[in-house]
Chains A and B, each alone.
Chain A
Amino acid sequence: MTREQAATLIGERFGMAQVDGTSPLVVTLPVDQWVSFARFAKDTLGCRFFAFSTAVDWKEQGLEVVVRVENLDTQIALLMKTRLGAGISSCPSLAPVYRGANWMERECYDMFGIRFDGHPDLRRILLADDWEGHPLLKSYAVDTPHPPYR
């Protein structure tokens, strides 16, 4: 399967998706197609390698979740993006589809406060369990004091 074939297939199956670029194929999706597209990518397109999952804080426009998966045999890389909308911080979880999403989504929750529905074990991973605030949001200052340590 080539990239062009993959792009046409995506366009057929997921009409509302927006496909740009060649490598990686950047697919911008609405949130409700998130998990079904991930399953499609894994089963049909053969993208079984889960590279990473992260989020971006676009201030007034809200949060965006970005996932990259790859087909190691045919070198098709998909960058899946979805905008959660202003003020919304919940997103369906890809952990049932890709096991690598488990820790990556825990990190997104830790850093951005995005609650992933369907995640088996959503708790903070990098910061302590009783930490207040989600640091990578643009509203969080980088040098927030934390007495007595800083």
Chain B
Amino acid sequence: MRRYSAFAVAREATRYHQGWARAWRSPEPKKKYDVIIVGAGGHGLATAFYLGRNFGITNVAILEKGWLGGGNTGRNTTIIRSNYLQDPSAAIYEKSRSLYETMSQDLNYNVMYSPRGVLMLAQTEAEVRGYKRTAHANALQGVDTEFVSPERVKQLVPIISLDGPRYPVLGGLWQARAGTGRHDAVAWGYARACSDMGMDIIQQCEVTGIRQDGGKVVGVDTTKGAIDCDKLGVVVAGHSGVLAEMAGFRLPIESVALQALVSEPIKPCMDIVVMANTVHGYMSQSDKGEMVIGGGADGYNNYTQRGSFHHIEETVRALVETFPMISRLKMLRQWGGIVDMTGDRSPILSKTPVENVFFNCGWGTGGFKATPGSGWGFAELVAKGYSPLCEAFGLDRFREGRFVDESVAAGVAH
């Protein structure tokens, strides 16, 4: 693999940029792999990357039914934060956030991680109490957050209206080291690194069945033929239930649509991410100047990758109250993605009833921020059968009543 650098740009500039190689290979599948990862999104590719980097397992195929990073990896609002309440969540999200800090160097690929800070507005007394509690919990967990006053909020976001007609701003939970990243680059960077380690990324190859022998996985059937494997990692946010059915069990997961939209580009006016969970809306400004807006999830099972109009209206109405200056902005694009929601709003990284089949799913509305941490932990789980980072997120937590309740931290906004 040719390293990307300023010198490489200069070298290519002298020869009409003819020397750039494809970032990853697109080989035909082999007969057998040690590990097959289903789903070439951020989490799947991160899993493959850390299987190679941390455990030396490189005979790996990553199967993707569509195109690389074309699911929720390319549909989220790119927010990265780790201000969760429970210890296991703080551990995996903070691991993830810290991996983002050095990701561009680790992958030799600019993922444009921008630690610009994330502010979660407290707009009711209950929210003030909730966020103070989160700030205290984060202090114990070693996650750097603080509860800030309305005056500080105004300082951080001059365009905000503090005394909105419905919900005045009473304070906020501020995580200065949180921020945003370039979501596609995360997938592309991992793909390039995986391909460089000799892993096969096979796009447009849909898994149609999971072959088992005596309760143990032996391979998968795909639209490109049968492929054998020793271990199978399923990382297919949204469609986890469909794959679970192929493996012969049911998951505590429901798939719903979550949507986002962007405005026309305007001059820089907001240099942090603001989330308003009471009124269901969150917003940041992209490097192009577009206001990136996300809202609530639909309330019913849905696989259509598009959301309802009334949710756009609700989200935009709430944000216009909070940021009156955006009221004349035109919206450019709207899109939806399918997220898989668990009852406690925490992910599932787990062994399954089928031996050597592992599921990584249930990230709900906030998987992007967890991409490297999820890959780090899940790779360990697949390689060794046990991972301290994933321990609390097993499937058996439902049976045993050990929920990791993050409905406050993860309920709406991401």
Q: Are A and B part of the same complex?
A: no
Question: Interface residues, chain A, CB within 8 Å of chain B?
Answer: none
Question: Interface residues, chain B, CB within 8 Å of chain A?
Answer: none
